[in-house]
Amino acid sequence: MNSRERLLTALQHREPDRVPIDLGGTDVTSICKGAYVDLMHYLGRDPGEIVLVNIVEQLPALDEAFLDDVIRADTRQVRERGGSGWVLHMEDEGDYWSYVNEWQIRLRMPKKGGQRGALLRSGGVPHQGANPRGIGSFPMARSFRSGPLGRSGRRSTAAV
């Protein structure tokens, strides 16, 4: 049975040749950067350059050979692209890495011990005092208008 057949069989409440395995198919079923690097070293494998697919959760892109040969994972993650045109730009602030997220909030992460949940907000709330009429100037609000809800004619709203 291949992975697709295995997953479909299990989803149909029938017994596949083995239990389908998912590691990293979603953010919820992934592994944080520190644990992944430790596991790769424990297995005698080079983790290579770590590329994060979720910076807040510190989730790395997992090595395909590791998923195939070691884990025998049946799933792969497909990531969406943000509609706002936001691009990650990490800045070096000495002991910290920082960036401004798609909601215009600056976040910092310690370089040492910067694991999941270690992001710190630095600075104030960028849209403090905003009112509902001004929400259209907010970058994420513009992407919502051009996204699926905007095209369907349903009105996008955001709490202010």
**pLDDT of the residue at 122:** 52
Cβ-proximal residues to 55 (8 Å cutoff; 6+ apart), any chain: 88, 99, 109, 119
**pLDDT of the residue at 154:** 38
The 8-class DSSP code of residue 11 comes to H
**pLDDT of the residue at 19:** 96
**pLDDT of the residue at 18:** 97
**pLDDT of the residue at 127:** 55
pLDDT band at 46 (very low <50, low <70, confident <90, very high): very high
pLDDT tens, 53-107? 887 788 899 999 999 999 999 999 887 666 667 777 888 988 887 888 777 777 8
**pLDDT of the residue at 77:** 87
Rounded distance between C-alpha atoms, residue 134 and residue 132, angstroms:
5
**pLDDT of the residue at 64:** 92
Asked if residue 126 lies in contact with residue 104, where contact means CB atoms within 8 angstroms, the answer is yes
Closest by CA position to 49, among listed 58, 59, 60, 64: 60
pLDDT band at 40 (very low <50, low <70, confident <90, very high): very high
Mean of the per-residue pLDDT values for the chain? 76
